[in-house]
Amino acid sequence: MHGMSDNAAFRRCLICSAVEQIDGERVWPPGWLCPACGHVFPQADGVPLFAPELADSISGFDPKAFEYLAEHEPGHFWFVARNLLLVGLADKFFPHARRFLEIGCGTGFVLRDFARSRRWERLVGSELHPAGLAHARQRLPSEVEFVQMDARDIPAVGAFDLTGAFDVIEHIADDEAVLRALRSATETGGGTIIAVPQHQWLWSRADEVAHHERRYGRGELEAKLRRNGFDILFSSSFTALLLPLMAASRLVARRRSADEDAYEFGLSSAANRVLLAILRAEVRLTLAGVSWPAGGSRVVVGRAA
């Protein structure tokens, strides 16, 4: 694994496609000027804007949901357990990674736990919707970079040895464009971790409220990763042990609000504790190598081939 960081890393101009070597400083300095074509990329509050025309549009995600998420993620069994799984997989498969990019970092709830998990040389969170980044800023140390971009067109080549998109690409019609862009941004030998909702038969109003394009079928995410330059190191379901509950909840009529539907937040704290205990046990087994065949989400670890 050593020596990976010796590979050259580049930022890439979205206007003229010229690349410029990154030399220890930020991946994308705010107000970056492309030396090849002279284009100056706009920025706001120190956040480079690579797709300002898409910012805070309701394309794939309603920015108003960030407020709700920021308030409800901490302590919520699903988000807490998912963080344990994602950080655990990064530690298990890419213990030497030092440069991490999270696509669709939202309010920074996942990035915060990555930040705490090891010493990073570069930690970058990207979002299409800068509304989430205000929360992320507050949660994370000042050296963490934030950037607004379209994940289908990441202005970097080999700049990261670990990348991730956690419940993001199901919002995007051309999800393979995102995987292709992630492969380009990840150096060869580096890794990516992708989480998506699974099983079309679990499709519910929650998916519509959340602006999902799809839930993933068996083998779909793995095939898409392979097609776009990744080898599969590990693949498992997440929330496998809650699948009977999830299936049952879709069979009964509900009178909950749209937001509760979207994130299944309509829970008592006792129920939350029980579900968290179940998922902690599941995550422990997953990190020990158990690959669950079915569950609400699919998590795949790939290596940039």
Choose, by CB under 5 A, the member of 16, 33, 58, 281 that binds Zn ion: 16
Between residues 39 and 226, which has the closer beta carbon with respect to Zn ion? 39
Between residues 18 and 246, which has the closer beta carbon with respect to Zn ion? 18
Hunting for tokens 């829970």 — which residue is that? 267
Choose, by CB under 5 A, the member of 9, 13, 65, 179 that binds Zn ion: 13
- 36 is a site residue for Zn ion (CB under 5 A): yes
Neighbours of 4 (CB within 10 A): 17
| Candidates 27-35, 44-52, 236-244, 246-254; binding stretch for Zn ion (CB under 5 A) | 27-35
Between residues 20 and 91, which has the closer beta carbon with respect to Zn ion? 20
Assess contact for 18 and 37: CB atoms under 8 A: yes
| Pairing of the two strands 47-48 and 43-44 | antiparallel
- 33 is a site residue for Zn ion (CB under 5 A): no
Long-range CB contacts for residues 3-7, cutoff 8 Å, separation at least 24: 4/96, 4/161, 4/187, 4/189, 4/190, 5/98, 5/99, 5/121, 5/161, 7/158, 7/187, 7/188
Min dist. Cβ of residue 15 to Zn ion (A): 4
Min dist. Cβ of residue 261 to Zn ion (A): 44
Question: What is the distance between the alpha carbons of residues 267 and 270, in angstroms, rounded to a whole number?
Answer: 8
The closest alpha carbon to 240, from 205, 193, 281, 194, belongs to 281
- 15 is a site residue for Zn ion (CB under 5 A): yes
| Candidates 12-20, 40-48, 75-83, 183-191; binding stretch for Zn ion (CB under 5 A) | 12-20
Choose, by CB under 5 A, the member of 1, 8, 33, 37 that binds Zn ion: 37
- 194 is a site residue for Zn ion (CB under 5 A): no
Assess contact for 130 and 47: CB atoms under 8 A: yes
Choose, by CB under 5 A, the member of 34, 47, 144, 179 that binds Zn ion: 34
Between residues 13 and 151, which has the closer beta carbon with respect to Zn ion? 13
- 44 is a site residue for Zn ion (CB under 5 A): no
Residues 6 or more apart from 183 whose CB is under 8 A from it?
192, 228, 229, 230, 304
- Distances in Å between the Cα of 135 and the Cα atoms of 55, 112, 125, 195, 241 are 16, 11, 12, 22, 31
- 258 is a site residue for Zn ion (CB under 5 A): no
Please measure the distance between the N-terminal and C-terminal CA atoms of the chain and give it in whole angstroms. 14
| Candidates 9-17, 90-98, 146-154, 255-263; binding stretch for Zn ion (CB under 5 A) | 9-17
> Interface residues with Zn ion (CB under 5 A)?
13, 15-16, 18, 34, 36-37, 39
